[in-house]
A and B are shown apart, each in its own frame.
Chain A
Amino acid sequence: MTAPGAPPEEPVKGKSLWQDALRRLRRNRAAVASAVFLALLVVACIVVPMFVDYQFQQTGAKFQPPGYSERTGKLHLFGTDELGRDVLARCFYGGRISLLIGIVATLVAIVIGTLYGAISGYAGRRVDDVMMRIVDILYGVPYMLIVLLIMVAIGKRGLVPLFGALGLFQWLTTARIVRGQVLTFKNREFVQAARTIGAPRMRILFRHLLPNTMGPVIVYSTLMVPSVILQEAFLSYLGLGVQQPHTSWGLLASDGARAINPIETYWWILVFPAIFLGSTLLALNFLGDGLRDAFDPKGRRA
């Protein structure tokens, strides 16, 4: 690993750095559009299920195509699935869980990664050596396999083990980023100043160093959320994902993929969850790329 050589001419003006970034972000139309879309989607996933008049678990006439169903006498905008459940309602419920998993697992990874990286970078020398060696070793772990094994081993399955298992190996890169940032800022004037007035180490770390590392971490996290959501989809495909009564976009899409067949395509069970999943992940990716461009105008990766 090459240590991140922070360009010395970059000014340490906390606020204006963010303002600069925001200005650059606003120029990126795709990122702005993505941000707006995501905000709307999150609101919709929270609000829509409250107003849908049929419960997402309710079963009725199965495989009704999108539109008004004669058999149920109801409007099913996205049609119904193999048990007659409304696909639209399930898409929004699934969105709640998928987004929740993405965000929570990412938070788990950020917390672990930030603490680990900060301690490693701040402690320096031997501790740093050992801690980073451990990260190197863990990079050699085929982690999707381990996540799968963990899900198998836990046996009892709820949302919490899922958050944990998915967040468990995501923190490695965060740790490296944070460590790099801490190393960069550790000997800056404002940290030294704090040190000379006798601030405790923990306070220096948490009040002065960590806030300065958050930019790159946020950027990286925006890209971590979609990958976590995708991994949940993979686990769902194997039947190791979320349990009833919850559902997720990954689960809906994998059920839908099974119903795709050449005899008669129940396309709506696959297409709508796939659109939700795909557009959300696309937006998150665009936003993440936009944020990175904005925070790091030269495209240098930490």
Chain B
Amino acid sequence: MLRYILVRLLWLPLILLVILGITTWLMRIAPGSPFAAEKSIDPQIMQQIERKWGTNKTGWQWFGSYLAGIARGDLGPSFKVQGRTVNDLLGSALPVSLTLGLLALFLALLVGVPAGFLAGLRQNSIWDYGSMAIALVGISLPAFVIGAFLIVWLVFHWDVLPVGGWGTIDKLLMPAVTLSAPFAAVIARLARAGVLEVVHEDYIRTAKAKGLPKGEIVLKHLVRGAILPVVSYLAPAAAAILTGSFVVEKLFRIPGMGMHFVNSALNRDYSLVLGVVIVYATLLVLFNLVVDVAYGFLDPRVRLGK
């Protein structure tokens, strides 16, 4: 088990290297510059700026010195938010996004698992279609549409929630609901499929055929059937819920990671882009690992590290 975890962790630097390489290359070929300003800057002055920030180096040199910085735990200065280091910016944005993301994940589980469970138990019934239709709305509408409706109704018509911002729990609710919607849908679908799988197992069929009431044992298997596929989805979900939060952060004005990512990409703030990518990729790999370990813990059929 321990060895398995170690091997998986050893993959992390390689993955990061590949992703950072791709990102650096993309940022380099993108038109524009982190120092482009509305008014034109004299070429000589531009050279001075680039020298000051080290972006006059070739892509490889720059990448090399960047990696050296990472080795020291220094993600470099932000080119655009002057005076801030990427460490600072991410340090204050990550907890915000994590909080929002975790809450959204719980909401998604809270809605998705029961909906899928119900749908799976009553396959092809009105319960199935109804609960799945409600759940699937989450992956059928983009967040900016759901968010816009929520704001108009909950904030302006019913006046029950604040319009956005960060700092208190009531401000967190609406963004968390918006963010959770697509994940609730996928979780519901997985839970339904999981229940269906169990329902069709021979022993359940036998139990049903014998006319036994759905006893505790049956229920236990069904719950496990519903939960297991969901657990394996939690890793990509957790990572996606963090990366996918840009629209929600913009809509509700939340100072999190998503804002940094999109803005830094649009501003060509190379170091910040790379910083965000490192965080996301690391989270993704770690979540994957945690979930695989949890899966082994939950499902005795799975053996890790074979």
Contact = CB atoms under 8 A, between A and B. Distances in A.
Q: Do A and B come from one complex?
A: yes
Interface of A: 2, 27-30, 136-137, 139-142, 144-146, 148-150, 152-153, 155, 226-227, 230, 233-234, 237-238, 250, 253-254, 256-257, 260-262, 265, 270, 274, 277-282, 285-286, 289, 292-293, 297-301
Given A146-B26, A286-B132, A299-B194, A29 B139 contact: no
Contacts of A145: 243, 261, 265, 276-277, 280
B132 A140 contact: no
Interface in B60-110: none
Interface in B1-47: 11, 14-15, 18-19, 22-23, 26-27, 29-31
A136 B266 CA distance: 29
A254 B142 contact: yes
Given A150-B26, A274-B141, A29 B124 contact: yes
10 contacts: A30-B129, A140-B281, A140-B288, A146-B22, A146-B26, A149-B273, A155-B31, A274-B141, A281-B141, A286-B129
Contacts of B189: 285, 289
- Chain B interface SS verdict (over half): helix
Given A142-B239, A153-B29, A148 B302 contact: no
B262 interface: yes
B140 A226 contact: yes
Contact of B193 (A141, A274, A301): A301
What are the 3 closest A-B residue pairs judged by CB atoms, nearest first?
A: A281-B140, A299-B197, A262-B156
B197 A152 contact: no
Interface of B: 11, 14-15, 18-19, 22-23, 26-27, 29-31, 123-124, 128-129, 132-133, 136-137, 139-142, 144-145, 147-149, 151-152, 155-156, 182, 185, 189, 192-194, 196-197, 200, 229, 239-240, 243-244, 247, 261-262, 265-266, 273, 276-277, 280-281, 284-285, 288, 302
A29 B129 contact: yes
Contacts of A286: 129, 132-133, 136
Contacts of A270: 145, 148
B262 A238 contact: yes
B26 A2 contact: no
A141 B140 contact: no
B129 A227 contact: no
Contact of B26 (A153, A257, A260): A153
A142 B280 contact: yes
Contacts of A150: 26
A277 B137 CA distance: 11
Contacts of A262: 152, 155-156
A257 B148 contact: yes
Contact of B15 (A140, A226, A285, A301): A140
B10 to A, nearest CB: 13
